[in-house]
Amino acid sequence: MPAYDELESEVIEGGLCTYCGACVASCPLHHLKWIDGGPKRPEKKAACEDCETCYRACYRTEIGKGAIEEEIFGRRRKGGEDIGIYRRAIAARATDGSILEKAQDGGVVTAILVYMLEEKIIDGAILTGRGREEDDWMPFPKVAKSKEEIISAAGTKYGVSPNLMMVRTAVIDEVLDNLCVVGLPCHVQAVRHLQHIKFDLSPAIKFVIGLFCRENFEYVQMSKGVKERGVEMEEVEKISISKGFFNVHTSDTKLSIPLKETAVWHSKHCLTCDDYSAELADISVGSEGSKEGWSSVIIRTEKGEEVFSEAESKGYIRTEEVVDLEYIKENAMRKMQSRSRDS
């Protein structure tokens, strides 16, 4: 029966682990912990009973989106559905200035979370905060239970964040039972896998917001690279990627690094991922395909449609019918093709 030792050799050391944190949340004995210093990874902290729960909880041991698509959408995708199954795509922007101030693009992710919290659709969100270990931009997973906590997590942090580790914290320690998980395509696939295998804490996850992602970066390498170019991470106000550049903004400067120079910071596990637009989320959000300060939103499920439409009609977001879906599809195709070339 495969258990932690197999998870370690096949997935963690086999280069397939996306560091989503699901295995840590799944251990019934709480014997897995997340190692932060040095290479970030899950590790066994006490004797294991070889119960196989962590192995089953890992979406990378059972790769394949087909059965999960059937569960979520009632069918598998057809040929040509390169960004997965969806209902519609639209450009959107938050209306609350305090959200826009902190947000990466249109603040749609944060505005929808605030709407769901205020309408009591959720009682908490699992997302990615920043500022751990006196390092301002280091991403870390977080459970947010208030509007202020949700807004403080707005903005893109480049680096791995084992968000699903927080499922246990949210459900057991914080006693929350209506959660939204925000994450990259890898987190979204991991959540859907937990729901598919009927992991006992997964019924608490009611909504999933996915982010577009070409690739992630190793935080330690990235921050070192930025420092070598003369900018301290404490000074950084925003990091963005646009038009072929990795941009590091401070209050009075903008360091623009050509993307080809940043390839050395890429997380290696991203080479095994072909999902650009978080194809299994209720709604997916990205910057590409919309003008600056707006977000591109792909509404995929009935629940996604309900939440998005209500958030708009209650004034949390506004929309414009201009989104370059062809460009989004091209990006998805490019990611898929580069992964099949590299594999």
Ligand X SMILES: Cc1cc2nc3c(=O)[nH]c(=O)nc-3n(C[C@H](O)[C@H](O)[C@H](O)COP(=O)(O)OP(=O)(O)OC[C@H]3O[C@@H](n4cnc5c(N)ncnc54)[C@H](O)[C@@H]3O)c2cc1C
Please tell me the distance from the alpha carbon of residue 139 to that of residue 132, in angstroms, as a whole number. 7
Among 106, 124, 225, 304, binds ligand X (CB under 6 A): 106
Closest CA to 294 of 96, 86, 108: 108
Instruction: Fill in the per-residue mask, 300 to 329: x = in contact with ligand X (CB under 6 A), - = not in contact.
Output: ------------------------------
Residue 107 or residue 225: which is nearer to ligand X going by CB? 107
- Quick one: DSSP state of residue 150? H
Q: What is the 3-state secondary structure (H, E, C) of 264-308?
A: HHECHHHHHCCCCCCCCCCEEEECCCCCCCCEEEEECCHHHHHHH
The one among 42, 139, 162, 210 contacting ligand X by CB under 6 A:
139
Instruction: Indicate which single residue of 20, 24, 184, 231 sits in contact with ligand X (rule: CB under 6 A).
Output: 184
Of 56, 65, 157, 300, the one binding ligand X by CB under 6 A: 157
Burial of 117 (0-12, 13-18, 19+ CB in 10 A): buried
Contact call for residue 288 and ligand X (CB under 6 A):
yes
Q: State the number of CA atoms in the 13 A half-sphere of 103 facing the CB.
A: 26
Of 156 and 262, nearer to ligand X (C-beta) is 156
Tell me which amino acid residue 87 is. Answer: R
Say whether residue 262 binds ligand X (CB under 6 A).
no
Least CB distance from residue 127 to ligand X, whole Å? Answer: 3
Complex with ligand X: residue 8 or 218, whichever CB lies closer: 218
Of residues 160, 238, 232, 170, the one with CA closest to residue 203: 170
Among 21, 42, 84, 107, binds ligand X (CB under 6 A): 107
The binding track of 204-243 with respect to ligand X, each residue x by CB under 6 A or -, is -------xxxx-x---------------------------
For residue 156, state whether it binds ligand X (rule: CB under 6 A). yes
Helix axes 302-313, 108-118, angle to 10 degrees: 90
Q: Of 287, 298, 308, 316, which lies in the binding site for ligand X, with binding defined by CB under 6 A?
A: 287
Q: What is the DSSP letter of 78?
A: P
Give the footprint of ligand X on this chain (CB under 6 A): 103-110, 127-128, 139, 153-159, 161, 163, 182-184, 211-214, 216, 285-288, 295
